[in-house]
Amino acid sequence: MTHTKTELGALLNEHGLHPSRALGQNFVVDPNTVRRIARLAEVGPGDQVLEIGAGLGSLTLALVETGAHVIALEVDRYLIAPLTSVLEATSVRVVHADALSVDYASILGDTATVVVANLPYNVATPLVVHLLESQPLVTRMLVMVQKEVGERLAASAGEAAYGAVSLRVQYFADAKVVGKVPPSVFLPKPNVDSVLVTLTRRAAVRVDPEVVSESELFSVIRLAFSQRRKMLRRSLAGWTSDGVFERAGVAETRRPEELTIEEFAALVAAK
C-alpha cells in the first residue's frame, strides 16, 4: 500500500513537518505513479534496490511490493522518524546519510544493486555521475529528475541537450528517457515537468582507456564544450596540433555538440 495525497499530508501534519525547499523536496503522492516507477525499475525477488531520497516512503512501499530487498537512504534527519514508522512492518533498512558522501560499501556489501531515486534539481547530475564513476556495484539506475536534467543525461550527438555531461554518462552507461511525470503527482506541485531516465552500466567503458586516456579525453571534451557554439578549430585552438583533424577524420568546421564520444576519442588519439 502506498500513500495518497491525503495520507501523506496527514503524515506531515502528524510530525509537524513541511517539504523542505532547501532540499528540493517534492513528494510523490500518486499511487499509480510510484507503482509505475517500480515497474519500470524491473526489479523483483532476489534483487537489491537502493532508494535514494526515500522521503516519507511512498515509492519505498511500491518497491517493497515487487519483492525486492530495499534499502532506503534519506538525508533529511527530520524525515527519519516518520519514514521508519511507515516502514516498520517491512524488512526495509533505513539509512540516514548524504548520498554524495556515504560509504556505499557499508550499505551495499558486495551485492549488485539497482538505484531508484527521485532527485532534486541541484543534486541530480552530480549524484548520477558520482555513482557511475565510483560505484561499480550499481549496475542500473532509474531516476526521476527535472525534464531538462533528464534530457541532458540521455542526449545523443546533435540533440539540443547534448553536452559534456551527456558524454560523461555515455562513457559508463547507456541512458534513455522512458517516461514523463506531470507536476500534479507531487506535493508540493513543482513548476516543471519531470522525466524518468534509465541508466544501464556498460560491461566496459565506451572508450578503451589503454588506447585513449580518460583524463585527456574529458579534458578535451570540457575544453570543446566551454565554447560549444564555435567550430572545433576555434574551441580547441589551444590544444590542437597540425594535421590532427585530418588524422582523426573529423572536420575542423564541426561544432562539439555534433561529435560522438568516439570522434572525440579519435581526436585525442590523433594528437
Give pLDDT tens digits along the chain (271 positions): 566 667 767 777 777 777 777 677 788 889 999 999 999 999 999 999 999 999 999 999 999 999 999 999 999 999 999 999 999 999 999 999 999 999 999 999 999 999 999 998 889 999 999 999 999 999 999 999 999 999 999 999 999 999 999 999 999 999 999 999 999 998 878 889 999 999 999 999 999 999 999 999 999 999 999 998 899 999 999 899 899 999 999 999 999 999 999 999 999 999 8
Give the domains, in start order, of the chain with CATH numbers.
5-201 (3.40.50.150), 214-270 (1.10.8.100)
The amino acid occupying position 76 is D
CA distance 29 to 123: 21
CA distance 70 to 48: 6
What residues pair up with 73 in beta bridges, in sequence order? Answer: 52, 95
Judge residue 161's burial from the number of C-beta atoms within 10 Å of its C-beta, 0-12 exposed, 13-18 middle, 19 or more buried. middle
**What's the whole-model pTM score?**
0.92
The H or E element containing residue 260 is: none
CA distance 130 to 82: 28
CA distance 219 to 63: 39
Peptide bond between residue 120 and the one before it cis (omega within 30 degrees of 0): no
Cβ neighbours, 10 Å, residue 84 = 15
- Contact between 2 and 58 under an 8 Å Cβ cutoff? The reply is yes
Q: Which residue's C-alpha cell is 576519442? A: 265
Judge residue 74's burial from the number of C-beta atoms within 10 Å of its C-beta, 0-12 exposed, 13-18 middle, 19 or more buried. buried
DSSP codes, 213-259: -HHHHHHHHHHHHTTTTS-HHHHTTTT--TTHHHHHT--TTS-GGG-
pLDDT one-digit tens code per residue, 99-127: 999 999 999 999 999 999 999 888 999 99
Which cell numbers hold the place of 229? 557554439
Cβ neighbours, 10 Å, residue 184 = 12
CA distance 160 to 257: 8
